[in-house]
Amino acid sequence: DGGITQSPKYLFRKEGQNVTLSCEQNLNHDAMYWYRQDPGQGLRLIYYSQIVNDFQKGDIAEGYSVSREKKESFPLTVTSAQKNPTAFYLCASTGKVYEKLFFGSGTQLSVL
Amino acid sequence: AQSVTQPDIHITVSEGASLELRCNYSYGATPYLFWYVQSPGQGLQLLLKYFSGDTLVQGIKGFEAEFKRSQSSFNLRKPSVHWSDAAEYFCAVGAGDDYKLSFGAGTTVTVRA
């Protein structure tokens, strides 16, 4: 079945460490997104990508980085510069501009 | 840059009563507007969307929303809520052709018997 796979489901980061969250889709979608979900703050856009080898900063990109080397993959790195990384991270994709987003099941990142 | 505001953090409604969730957006041109719902322990599900045309749009689960350009609003309504409508609701706005889609902070709906 087609869908979006995020891994791992739970991730722990030590101080000063970079961690990478995986997002893979087999829906043949061009656009992919990363959102951060915090209680009371909704979903905040970190980065998004319209096509391979191209991506744009969202509303809260500081402390994060992404790459889009393959259509199917859009990994998110949470760098040590992100001082408050504890959150639930959601990856999403869509095939056409502003059509329905398909979401992954999320990764819960916590700081040790 | 576009932005979206959901003024109500939490709404409690009795089962069978009507529900209205507010959403205000900021964008110079006509935006693309969406409502998503996230039920406890579930992923986000698209309820409805507005691109153009008829300003009253019908969605799934008996929901509808009305686009009002003069008020920069896209409020979600349901005439009679069911206990299963208890969830968090998110309004989202897209603008331009660059795929950027921003969500509001969400409104949590509690349904009492």
Q: What is the mean pLDDT of chain B?
A: 93
Which residue, among B21, B66, B15, has the nearest Cα to A42 in the 3D structure?
A: B21
List pLDDT tens digits, range B10-56: 999 999 999 999 999 998 777 899 999 999 888 899 999 998 888 99
State whether B99 and A48 contact (CB < 8 Å): yes
CA distance A32 to chain B (A): 9
Q: Which amino acid is at B72?
A: S
Q: What percent of chain B has pLDDT over 70?
A: 100
Q: Provide the token pair at A18.
A: 């970079």
List pLDDT tens digits, range A3-62: 999 999 999 988 889 999 999 999 999 999 999 999 888 999 999 999 999 999 999 999
Do the bridges between strand A10-13 and strand A107-111 make them parallel or antiparallel, or are there none, so unpaired? parallel
B104 touches chain A (CB under 8 A): yes
State whether A97 and B104 contact (CB < 8 Å): no
Say if residues A50 and A32 touch (Cβ distance below 8 Å).
no
Q: Provide the token pair at B19.
A: 């529900």
List pLDDT tens digits, range A60-72: 999 999 999 999 9
β-bridge mates for residue A108, sequence order: A10, A88
